[in-house]
Amino acid sequence: IVSTQEPEDAGTTPDAPPTSVLYRELLQNYKNIVASEGVYLTDSTGRRYIDAVGGTAVNIIGHGVSEISARVADNWDSTSFVYSAFMTNPWQEELARKLASITPIEDGRVFFTSGGSEANESAVKLARQYHLDCGRASKWKVISRTASYHGNTLAMLALSGRPTWSARYSPYLDSSPKIAAAYCYRCPFSLSHPQCGIRCAEDLERVILQEGPDTVSAFLVEPISGSSLAGAVPVEGYYERIQEICRKYDVLFIADEVLTGYGRTGRTFAIEHWDVTPDIVTVGKGLGSGYTPIAACVASGAIVDKIRSVSGQFVHGFTYGGMPMACAIGVQVFDYIQEHSLFELASTRGDYLRARLEELAPTIPAIGDIRGLGLLQGVEIVGNPKTRQPFSPDRKIASRIVREAEARGVLFREGTPGANAGKDGDQIQISPPFVISPNEIDEMVSVLGDSIRTVLAEEAEA
Ligand code: PLP
């Protein structure tokens, strides 16, 4: 949403229709957010909302932290722009060092972009160039998972397993191979853990063999499902097996941590919940925490050195990658996180949130599943708790729950059904800023419960 009003307009009458482009549903019910603080957003009519999704899992340090702009102003050296393909700048270097120091990548090297889709495109291109420079020219395919989201560019839509968003663009999209999602609540193989033998991880080997190992460049995965399956967490051993398969076939392991990175799941990066080391990690949202558009692709030194020694350069670049102002803000966000131990806070507040959700669930049998780690949690609502049969999609249960909650002053997000629209249940994503207090979590969960009950009561009467 592009705000056309100054914050002092808060409390005035509703706005004229927006000139910026919004989603259809928002057009009927749009809010012009003119002020924000902590976990609260205030619209132009003066209404305050708890931002239970951190925008879209972007904000982690809280809204309206004036220290960020003050510190940038205090340290600013007035270099507006240098093109990072030819030059670097102190802010880019400082942020790269800081980011590499916390990313679970060996000898990490950083390529900055303005958003997560660009970061994932960069990762895919880096993997391709690496194989070319290693003399493996036939390796170009990228395998990803069903019910996944990696961004909105045409290449990333092709790799995302979200037909609801990509189907209409199919003439532009390569068909990319997918493996089954790690979605235990509705196991794609109708198995249960541990008897399943982690069949969803074994599926990677099946697809690599089917496509031909000499054609597969990389496996791209959200370590914990974000917006498509609202926090679905693979079982213990899943990524260890994925890594083994990737290494066996010279397939690079790319962890898309655009949503899950930067502390969101209670570890600095979500992949650290497993004992593995990816070859490339992408990070976005939390890196700028909503104070600037910035994302990055962090690759192992071995990959980057190989490309440098053979090709001289990574043949890729975006005008605004590594821009001084964006990196300067990224540095202040990084320092602020460290000074306030916000990654640790996400873990403790995440535990608190999870405990409250676990208490809520038995009071509402339609809550079929609660999943997630840290401050990325998801709730799946089902029509029949015994059979896990979802409500019919045309009942729009999740979007009605989101609207009910909004009327009560809390903003949630509807999880987007992935490959299985109509077979998965209705999902609600919860991903607030890490500074949310226990009282605010209590209020958020209580509103969620009331909103679910209201919609279920309406359904019972319908
Ligand atoms: N990857 C994941 C896992 C995401 O959740 C998103 C955005 O929601 C993206 C990539 C795309 O990031 P952006 O919207 O910044 O391009």
Chain center to CA of 68 = 23
Dist. CA 331 → ligand 1 center (Å): 21
Is 250 strand, coil or helix?
coil
Ligand 1 contact via 54 beta carbon (within 6 Å) = no
260 lines ligand 1 (CB under 6 A): no
* Best CA proximity match to 441, nearest among 41, 49, 48, 52: 52
Cα 429 to Cα 426: distance, rounded to the nearest angstrom: 10
User: What's the token pair of residue 146?
Assistant: 């069903």
Give the Cα separation of 420 and 380 in Å (integer): 14
Q: At what angle do helices 324-339 and 90-102 cross, to 10 degrees?
A: 40
Nearest CA to ligand 1 atom 1: 150
Q: Verify whether ligand 1 is closer than 6 Å to residue 151 (CB atom).
A: yes
150 CA distance to ligand 1 middle (Å): 6
In the three-class reduction of DSSP (H, G, I as helix; E, B as strand; rest coil), residue 274 is classed as coil
88: left (phi over 0), alpha (psi -120 to 50) or beta: beta
CA distance 127 to 232: 26
pLDDT of residue 2: 34
Say if residues 65 and 336 touch (Cβ distance below 8 Å). yes
Distance from the alpha carbon of residue 259 to the mean position of ligand 1, in angstroms: 6
Which of the listed residues 59, 156, 166, 285 should we mutate to test ligand 1's pocket, taking the one with most ligand atoms within 8 A of CB?
A: 285
Q: What is the pLDDT of residue 4?
A: 38
Q: How far apart are CA 106 and CA 362, in angstroms?
A: 44
Mention every residue, 6+ apart, whose C-beta is less than 8 A from residue 119: 111, 113, 258, 282, 283, 284, 295, 296, 297
Contact in structure between 415 and 266 (CB atoms under 8 Å): no
Q: What is the pLDDT of residue 27?
A: 60
> Looking only at Cα atoms, what is the longest distance across the chain?
69
For a mutational test of ligand 1's pocket, the pick from 149, 152, 282, i.e. the residue with the most ligand atoms closer than 8 A to its C-beta, is: 149
Domains and CATH numbers, the chain: 7-61+341-461 (3.90.1150.10), 70-339 (3.40.640.10)
Main-chain phi, psi angles of 172, to 5 degrees: -90, -15
What pLDDT tens digit does each residue of the chain (462 aa) get? 333 344 444 444 456 777 777 766 666 677 889 999 999 999 999 999 999 999 999 999 999 999 999 999 888 877 889 898 889 999 999 999 999 999 999 999 999 999 999 999 999 999 999 999 999 999 999 999 999 999 999 999 999 998 888 888 999 998 899 999 999 999 999 999 999 999 999 999 999 999 999 999 999 999 999 988 889 999 999 999 999 999 999 999 999 999 999 999 999 999 999 999 999 999 999 999 999 999 999 999 999 999 999 999 999 999 999 999 999 999 999 999 999 999 999 999 999 999 999 999 999 999 999 999 999 999 999 999 999 999 998 899 999 999 999 999 999 999 876 556 667 889 999 999 999 999 999 999 999 999 999 999 999 898
d(CA 342, CA 374): 12
Pocket flag, ligand 1, residue 153 (CB < 6 Å)? no
What pLDDT is recorded for position 377?
98
By most ligand atoms within 8 Å of CB, the mutation choice from 144, 145, 150 for ligand 1 is 150
Closest CA to 235 of 191, 277, 274, 279: 274
SS3 state of residue 371: strand
ipTM of this complex prediction, to 2 decimal places: 0.99
Phi, psi values for residue 220, rounded to 5°: -110, 125
Distances (CA, A) of 396 to 2, 402, 414, 459: 27, 10, 10, 11
Q: How many Cβ atoms from other residues are within 10 Å of residue 405's Cβ? A: 25
Q: Are 188 and 181 spatial neighbours (Cβ–Cβ below 8 Å)? A: yes
Is the Cβ atom of 263 under 6 angstroms away from ligand 1?
Answer: no
Give residue 317's pLDDT: 92
Confirm or reject: Cβ of 227 under 6 Å from ligand 1: yes
Specify the residue for token string 């090709």. 311
Q: How far apart are CA 82 and CA 100, in angstroms?
A: 22
